[in-house]
Amino acid sequence: MTGRTHKRLFAIGITIALLAGTSWGVERTWTDVAGKFSVTAELVKVTGGYPTPFVPQWEILGDKVVLRLQDGKMSTVPLAKLSKEDQQFARESAERAMVVKIGTPPPAVVPFDSDQAKAHQEAWANYLGVPVQITNSLGMKLNLIPPGEFTMGSPKSELGRENGRWDDETQHLVRISKPFYLSACEVQAVHYEKINENPFGVTAQALNKGDTKPVLGVDWNDAVAFCDKLSKREGVEYRLPTEAEWEYACRAGTTTAYSCGDDVSQLGEYAWYYETEFPEVTKGEAVKHYRYEAQRIKARERRGKKQQELRKLRLAEMLKLTLHPVGELKPNPWGLYDMHGNAFEWCQDIYGARLAWAEIRVDPTGPASGSERVLRGGAFDSQPKYVRAAHRGYHLPDLRYHNGGSRLARSGFRLARTIPLSP
């Protein structure tokens, strides 16, 4: 162990020990200086002290307090308007925080813009002594995603949100407490084939520009097996991102339906989805096309071909025409490509109903039991509402075929990599 590593581990240990003595995250009653009103709330931060690029995330000293009310809303109150007891409490909390968090970069608390996103990445990379972007043994690039807080889910008024199981998007606050790496692009077929046999036997070589297209048709078990094998090969932990990590990474500081905003007319600059695939045809015409393809398959079956071989043929033809190379469109503020569209992406979590939690959820990992796993992001032939940052899909983890092989033929994944020295 190097001296630098030893010092960092020692500092992290001290941080954890001292945090137990701080007052952040504890609800208490706050009263104004005149004693005319009171409110029960959690102290989030003391702000207004430093004119730094990271204001107002983890402030140390300042003249205002930010409180999280019981309904989850934030309220900023001047210190001078609080009772003397509350002013003293806030200052003491801030002083303890200065001891605890000295040298630690602030978390990325949504909302923030593209420049601030890059600043957060660079600050945490410098603190951890790691690059913002790494390249693994397969040639895949992964970007550092710093810790932060965001509102997961969508408001009921968001265009494209529907009632029912497919749109269980109840909003709640989430804290991602540890930095991690996430692959800048979806896992490509050429990388997948170095570890696992390609599902359906549709190799990268068989596709147009196949060396840069994502692997599709993987079930959840395939994706996990790939992560496990790569982890053993490199001696580090690769895994699927949690659903919360995926949405936090997809939003990248935004609070809108897409990382590029709410305007669907801008979505084509960032996502391969239905309108980019069939710009001059109606949905009805597209359905007729798929029915025609299904009839061709049945005709081949009558001629004695095996069903699985026919599915491979159909998938190969479909992917040649519709699947796109990764990284051709604009990235989000974290530098991640194709988070909207192109391929559905598996997440680590079991799918479960959302609850309207009053308190913030720290590093949630989904329910402990259930039969289906989460799919996110939509695919190349999805409608705009299905490629929104908050939209939730799901499927059984061991099935590759559904509705004639169409849905899971569009499922892929991207890699998360744990950073060992996470504070």
Residue 330 lies in a domain: yes
Q: Categorize the per-residue pLDDT at 200 as very low, low, confident or very high, splitting at 50, 70 and 90.
A: low
Which pLDDT value is given to residue 54?
A: 33
Could you give the CA distance from residue 365 to residue 248 in angstroms, rounded to a whole number?
13
Which pLDDT value is given to residue 402?
A: 41
- Lowest mean pLDDT across 17-31, 208-222, 360-374: 17-31
Could you give the CA distance from residue 261 to residue 280 in angstroms, rounded to a whole number?
24
Which pLDDT value is given to residue 383?
A: 85
Same domain for 234 and 338? yes
Same domain for 54 and 197? no
Domain housing 120:
114-418
Bigger pLDDT: 401 vs 25? 25
Same domain for 131 and 209? yes
Mean pLDDT (whole number) for 275-285: 47
Q: What is the rounded radius of gyration, in angstroms, for the C-alpha atoms of the chain?
A: 24
Mean pLDDT (whole number) for 251-280: 83
Mean pLDDT (whole number) for 268-297: 56
Same domain for 220 and 262? yes
For 156-163, the CB contacts below 8 A with 24+ separation are 158/257, 158/262, 158/388, 158/390, 159/257, 159/262, 159/264, 159/385, 160/257, 160/383, 160/384, 160/385, 160/386, 160/388, 160/391, 161/385, 161/388, 161/390, 162/385
Which pLDDT value is given to residue 276?
A: 53
Residue type at position 381: D
Same domain for 75 and 166? no
Contact 236, 418 (CB under 8 A): yes
Write out pLDDT tens, residues 88-108. Answer: 888 777 655 543 344 688 999
Let me know the angle formed at the C-alpha of 135 by 134 and 141, rounded to the nearest 5 degrees. Answer: 85
In the predicted structure, residue 416 carries a pLDDT above the cut 60: yes
Could you give the CA distance from residue 147 to residue 200 in angstroms, rounded to a whole number?
38
CATH number, domain containing residue 71 = 2.30.30.700
Bigger pLDDT: 226 vs 190? 226
Bigger pLDDT: 161 vs 116? 116
Which pLDDT value is given to residue 20?
A: 31
Same domain for 131 and 64? no
Number of domains in the chain: 2
Could you give the CA distance from residue 407 to residue 170 in angstroms, rounded to a whole number?
25
Query: Which of 250-266 are b and which e, b meaning 16 or more Cβ less than 10 Å from the residue's Cβ?
Result: bbbbbebbbbbeeebee
Same domain for 82 and 222? no
Write out pLDDT tens, residues 309-347. Answer: 555 555 545 554 456 789 889 999 999 999 999 889 999
pTM, full prediction: 0.69
